[in-house]
Amino acid sequence: MTAAPERRRPGRSTALTVAMGLMLAYTLLPLLWLAISATKSNQTLFDSPGL
Amino acid sequence: MKRGAVRRNLTAHAFLLPFLCVFVIGVVAPLVYSVNLSLYQERMIGGRVFSGLDNYTKAFKDTLFHAGLGRVALFFAIQVPLMLGLSLVAALAIDSGRLRAPALFRIGIFVPYAVPGVVAALMWGYLYGDRFGLAGEIGDLLHTELPDLLSGNWMLASIGNIVTWSYVGYNMLIFYAALRSVPEELYEAAEVDGAGAVRKAFSIKLPALRPALLMATTFSVIGSFQLFNEPSVLQSLAPAAVSTNYTPNMYAYSLAFDGRQFNYSAAVAVLLGLVTVIVAYAVQRATARRERML
């Protein structure tokens, strides 16, 4: 009973993880940009790179 | 025996009462009020007069209302399948057990839902901008001029992206919860019968997802047809690209608060509500019929 789920567990897929990583970047990068921009003054907002 | 039943009924009603109070105050009363409002007209001579369905016939023929309705219908037809497809892929991937650190993906994709809609629209509005937004920087990096995402041609797609970003994790979680409720024995039985991963996805996972899919689609019908926050925020960044009748909800809003046409605005709002109900019902009927055919 305890061994059964262990046997069923499929291997980890790097390709799938990378593809889902792209999606994670889509959801999180805008928030990172927001957090970084919140630390800038009006002038540095124009002068410095966003990310 | 009988008295006991009556008493039980009373107890049940007493428990229901707080909900009913809030429901009547919060839902029924405003609905009745706006329907009532929509049946009158404010006239120069004679003041407030009962006009029957005049406001509705006017809204039926109103091209500004039609334009907004067409726009949200287009939005629904393109954005919703894309978003639900992305959510479905994410839910299947996280559920498959083939990801490293699935919990990180689950929470990371869900995080945008925790950002208030107005904040999300503001943030993307600045990101789209070519002055200090990311769109401008990516354009510089590639040494090309990216299209202006806040221009009229791109506005609907830009809004679609904001809505997708906000709700992809929410829908993913609905699908993921539905997948989690599938008992492990079902997969084991399928394996014994010789089913592979694809077969299991089509014969077990997709049927298990159907009720969740229907619910997510219904929410999306409502969200699309009642679109307001995102275009309203972007309007202040790009007034030329977002007209006051961009979506039916914005039209009703500007009629009421810029045009002071409260009665006509109420008719537009009620009509929009009816359209939303009809579309949601049609989606449900279409799904139910497909279910019967299977």
Assign A48 to helix, strand or coil: coil
Q: Do B132 and A46 touch (CB under 8 A)?
A: yes
Q: What is the ipTM of this complex?
A: 0.79
For residue A51, what pLDDT band results from cuts at 50, 70 and 90? Answer: low
The answer on pLDDT for B243 being more than 50 is yes
Of all residues in chain A, the one with the smallest CA distance to B87 is A23
The answer on pLDDT for B217 being more than 90 is yes
User: Which of B90, B98, B132 is opposite residue A45, by nearest beta carbon?
Assistant: B132
> What pLDDT score was predicted for residue B292?
63
CB atoms < 10 A from the CB of B235, how many? 19
> What pLDDT score was predicted for residue A2?
44
> What pLDDT score was predicted for residue B174?
96
Cα–Cα distance, B120 to B116 (Å, whole number):
6
Q: Do B132 and A13 touch (CB under 8 A)?
A: no
> What pLDDT score was predicted for residue A6?
44
Substitution target from B86, B92, B98, B127 for chain A, most A beta carbons within 10 A: B98
Cα–Cα distance, B143 to B138 (Å, whole number):
8
> What pLDDT score was predicted for residue B196?
83
Query: What's the pTM value of the predicted model, to 2 decimals?
Result: 0.85
Cα–Cα distance, B115 to B170 (Å, whole number):
12
> What pLDDT score was predicted for residue B165?
96
> What pLDDT score was predicted for residue B132?
64
Q: What pLDDT, in 10s, does the model give residues B2-31?
A: 667 778 888 888 999 999 999 999 999 999
Cα–Cα distance, B142 to B124 (Å, whole number):
20
For residue A4, what pLDDT band results from cuts at 50, 70 and 90? Answer: very low
B138 and B146 Cβ atoms separated by less than 8 Å: yes
Tokens of B262: 């409260």
For residue B197, what pLDDT band results from cuts at 50, 70 and 90? Answer: confident
Task: Please give the single-letter amino acid code of residue B115.
Answer: V
Q: Do B137 and A37 touch (CB under 8 A)?
A: no
The answer on pLDDT for A5 being more than 60 is no
Q: For chain B, which residues lie within 8 Å of any Cβ of chain A, measuring from their own Cβ? A: 86, 90, 93-94, 96-100, 104-105, 108-109, 111-112, 115, 123-124, 126-127, 131-134, 137, 165, 168-169, 184, 187-188, 191, 197
Tokens of B244: 């006051």
Bigger pLDDT: B82 or A49? B82
For residue A7, what pLDDT band results from cuts at 50, 70 and 90? Answer: very low
Bigger pLDDT: B66 or A14? B66
> What pLDDT score was predicted for residue B201?
83
> What pLDDT score was predicted for residue A3?
43
Q: Do B115 and A31 touch (CB under 8 A)?
A: yes
Cα B74–chain centre separation: 13
Q: What pLDDT, in 10s, does the model give residues B152-171?
A: 889 999 999 999 999 999 99
Chain B hits for A33, Cβ within 8 Å: 123, 127, 134
Q: Which of B61-70, B173-182, B200-209, B274-283 has the lowest mean pLDDT?
A: B200-209
By C-alpha distance, which of B254, B269, B274, B283 is closest to B76? B283
Q: What pLDDT, in 10s, does the model give residues B130-149?
A: 766 677 777 777 877 777 88
The answer on pLDDT for A1 being more than 50 is no
Measured CA distances, A24 to B37, B110, B120, B181 (Å): 47, 10, 16, 25
